[in-house]
Amino acid sequence: MVLDLRVCFVGESFVAGVGDQKGLGWAGRLAARAIAAGIPLTHYNLGIRRENSSELRRRWESECAPRLPEGTDRRVVISTGVNDTQYENGRARVDSAASTRNLTEILRRARERGWHTLVVAPPPNVDDEHNARLLDLDARYAEHCEHAGVPYLRAHQPLRENEIWMRDVAAGDGFHPGAAGYDQYAALLFPHWLLWLGDPGSELPVVR
């Protein structure tokens, strides 16, 4: 019997793969690498550009539900936060406390439905002040996921130190990389992604 493994990727433009000339983003690359490694799965990219965590909270469950029916191995990968920490009219679009509450509620509902979750940190951009806010949110997300027993991949700092990622982002719109940058993102996540696919309850090594 072939395992019916289904994964929904939910989040914003980085999940959607904005800027990627190959049209895959890191989510598509992770799915392709898993299949190449002998792990058949069906993946759904549910990323929306410019969406913040409050908007994600309102829509994610209704979009995942028909894609994750009973009797399948049901997974959700979540990545949000970059748009929350953007400043508009002199303030963050969503403050960090509200961002954390949104993630808490998403994870609570996933747990109630029996959906295994994995959270990926929001990546860096060329704005140092924005990155400082992202690091604060990253720490909050990491702490909450640890308490909730949910794997959290702290990809922000490794990408900030990655010359290819930062160069690719700078060559674009300052936020989104091209294919080379998404290659780096997926390569960073891939070993931990494979472990999680094999055992969603396993304790993943922390990406720092």
Q: Of 126, 117, 54, which Cα lies nearest the Cα of 83?
A: 54
Specify the amino acid at residue 89: N
**pLDDT interval class at 204 (50, 70, 90):** low
**Per-residue pLDDT tens digits for 73-113:** 999 999 999 999 999 999 999 999 999 999 999 999 999 99
Is 79 within the bounds of a domain? yes
Is 207 within the bounds of a domain? no
By residue range, what is the domain housing residue 186? Answer: 5-198
Is 27 within the bounds of a domain? yes
**Per-residue pLDDT tens digits for 104-124:** 999 999 999 999 999 999 999
- Which residues, at least 6 apart from 204, have a Cβ–Cβ distance to it below 8 Å? 151, 153, 192, 195, 196
pTM of the model: 0.96
Is 136 within the bounds of a domain? yes
Q: Of 197, 191, 185, which Cα lies nearest the Cα of 25?
A: 185
Q: What is the CATH number of the domain that holds 166?
A: 3.40.50.1110
Is 161 within the bounds of a domain? yes
**Per-residue pLDDT tens digits for 145-166:** 999 999 999 999 999 999 999 9
Number of domains within the chain: 1
Is 178 within the bounds of a domain? yes
Question: Tokens 């993943």 label which residue?
Answer: 204
The whole-chain average pLDDT of the chain stands at 95
Is 84 within the bounds of a domain? yes
**pLDDT interval class at 3 (50, 70, 90):** confident
Q: What pLDDT is attached to residue 201?
A: 79
- What percent of the chain clears pLDDT 70, i.e. is strictly above it? 96
Specify the amino acid at residue 29: R
Is 204 within the bounds of a domain? no
Buried (b) or exposed (e) across 170-194, using 16+ Cβ within 10 A? eebeebbbebebbbbbbebbbebbe
Q: What pLDDT is attached to residue 38?
A: 95
